[in-house]
Structure formats: structure tokens, C-alpha cells
Structure 1
């Protein structure tokens, strides 16, 4: 088996839209690298301080809902001569009340957020696995590994969620830890992809 057979199929073996996309991504490889490094640093910080990450996620979510609710109400009054005026007012009130409830009871909200996060991890992990197996872009193995780990993290959260009545404090750190691991793996995936794009020959990336 030659070394050429081990290289990813770029160039003439790919349709023109994919070739042009790889060419554009190669020119902007440093953007992917910066995003990956920032995600890796965020993941390390979240793993080092999981309690603060967990509480911060809940408080941020509550504050975001409050701001969104107030903005929705204000925008509804700015354009009040329309059929959806009362619907927008109702949506804004629901957002605002939900945000105040979340910030007022962060522990209970954190437990519910843990369950939602578990579902998100399982769905996101499954999506990454499918896209990696179907598209098989450069360094797709790391994307597949990322999907497998993400799905497993979701299942771990589901399992630990059943122990919350006995260990209510456990929810305070597990969400921050798992979010940190997700950020770390996702960031490393972007770093590896950026380095792979940087090494991609320009003649192959731009060929038609």
C-alpha cells in the first residue's frame, strides 16, 4: 500500500463545490485555529472550576431570558399596529418570568438544565457521528471520536440525574465538568482540522 492511498480524497476525486469549499477553508485555516484554541482554554477553565461554570450557565440563561423578554415587549410596543401584538407581549412576559424564576431558584433550574443538557449531548453526539461517517472530510476520525464521547457524556448525565434526590449537590459540578470536557474536545477537533487544512496543498485544493 502506497502513501498516496492513505491521503484523503481531495482534488479531482471531489466535486467542484467541495473543492472550492476546501480552497476557501484552507485560506482561512487560522480562523479555525483561533476558535479551537479559545474553546480548549474555555474547556480547561470549566474543568478546573466546574461549580462556577454550572452556576454561571444557569445565571447566564436566566439573564438572557430576562433581556430577551424585555426586548420582545419593547419591540412589540414599537410596532404595535399589527396582528401579533398581543402574542409578542405574551411571549415577552413568559420569557421575563421564566428568567426571573431561573435566577431566583438556581439549584432547581440547574437540575432541569442538567436533564436538557443530557438530551442535547446525546443528539449532538449522534449527529456528529453520522456526519463524520457520511462526509468523511479531512481528519473525520477526530470528529467521530468527538461525537462518541459527546453521546457518552449525555448518557452519563442521564444516569447521574437519577441520583439527584440522594446527592443534590452533585448537580452543581457535573454540568460544569461535562461542559468543560465538551468544549475541550470540540476545541481540539477544530485545532486538528485547522492544522490539516494548513497542510493541504494549494494545487489540490484549488483544482477543478
Structure 2
């Protein structure tokens, strides 16, 4: 009698796990669809990303200000107020001028690609470690990507941020689908024993 109750409990737990992994896969499908849509409409994805970023800065600044007010008896009160005010100001600027913010962020990303590419190239030549070939390819790719983005800047700012964000959504979604599908398979294998 106790054995059948234990089996029923395990089957119920397996069903709950299956549902959980199913929801993870559904979220993955939603992210994949959003990522593919963003890759088709990169300008809209860039604008949406910048507005979302602006709102996150604004809300984060307001929460930081509330936290600073609650901790006003500490030595870090004014630092918290200054950081919160900077976040609020940056959020307002990004929300009011998302195109200019996208141009600035695209320039920053291009400079990061350039410097990262140069450091990887030089580092791979100097160190010549076991990953020499991969580091060399990564450096060359980063350098090339930075040059391509800068060569078409500021027009590249209309699609660069949206493309990166959409690719991130796409790959995160594929990862969640794989996790959900793999998790369901493992639960099925364990529950079948």
C-alpha cells in the first residue's frame, strides 16, 4: 500500500517537473519568435531596446533614491543620492532621445570591439598559448566588426543595437528550448525506471 502511494507521489512529481520544463520551452519559443522578429525589424528593435534601457535606468534610479533615503543615517547617503540622480537623468535622456542614445551606444560598442580585437590579436601573438588560433580569430573578428560598425556610423546605429539584442533573444530562446526539451526527456527517463 505504501509502495503504491510512493509511486503515485513520484509520478505526480514527474508530472509537475514535466509541466515546469514545458513552460521553460514555451518561454524559449516566445524568445525565439521575438528574436527573429527583431532581426527582421532591426530599427524597431533598436528603438525598443533603447526605450527599455531608458525605463530601466529611470526605475533603477528611483529605487536607488528610495534606498538612499531609507539609509540616510549611513556614510553612503550622498553617494547613493548622486548615483540615483545620475541614473534618473540618464534614463530621462535615453527616453527623450532614443536615436541619439543608440548612436552613442553604437559608437561605444564599436570602440569596445576595436580595442578588444587589438588586445586579443596582440595578446595571441605575444603569448602564443594553446588557444593561439582561436584567440587570433576572435581578435581579427572583433577588429573587423569594430571597423565595419565605425565605417557606417551613425547610420549603423539604426540596426546594430537591435541586431545584437535580437540575436541575444534568439540564442537565449534556443537555450531555453533545449533546456525544456532535455529536462522533459531526463524526467521521462527517470520516471520510467
Q: Shorter-normalised TM-score: what interval? A: 0.5 to 0.7
Aligned equivalent of 2:30, options 28, 33, 38: 38
Which digits, 9 at most, give the CA deviation of each residue in 1:127-160, with x for residues without a partner?
Answer: xxxxxxxxxxxxxxxxxxxxxxxx9997775343
Structure possessing the higher radius of gyration over alpha carbons: 2
Q: Which structure 2 segments of 5+ residues have no match?
A: 1-13, 117-138
Task: Measure the CA separation in 1 of the matches of 2:166 and 2:146.
Answer: 17
**SS across alignment from 1:200:** helix
Q: Is the 8 A contact 1:40 1:187 kept in 2?
A: yes
Cα root mean square deviation, aligned: 3.6
CA distance, structure 2, for counterparts of residue 156 and residue 199 of structure 1: 41
Q: State the aligned residue count.
A: 154
Which among 64, 76, 80 is matched to residue 72 of structure 1?
64
| Cα deviation, residue 73, structure 1 | 1.9
TM-score, structure 1 as length reference: 0.58
Determine the C-alpha separation between the residues in 2 that align with 1:116 and 1:104: 20
Question: Quick check: which one's helix share is greater?
Answer: 2
Partner of 1:180: 166
Q: CA deviation at 1:52?
A: 1.2
What residue ranges of structure 1 are gaps of 5+ in the alignment?
1-22, 123-150
Q: Residues 2-51 of structure 1, C-alpha deviation per residue, up to 9 Å, x if partnerless?
A: xxxxxxxxxxxxxxxxxxxxx8x964321321221111121122123211
Paired position in structure 1 for 2:176 = 190
Relative to the length of structure 2, the TM-score reads 0.62
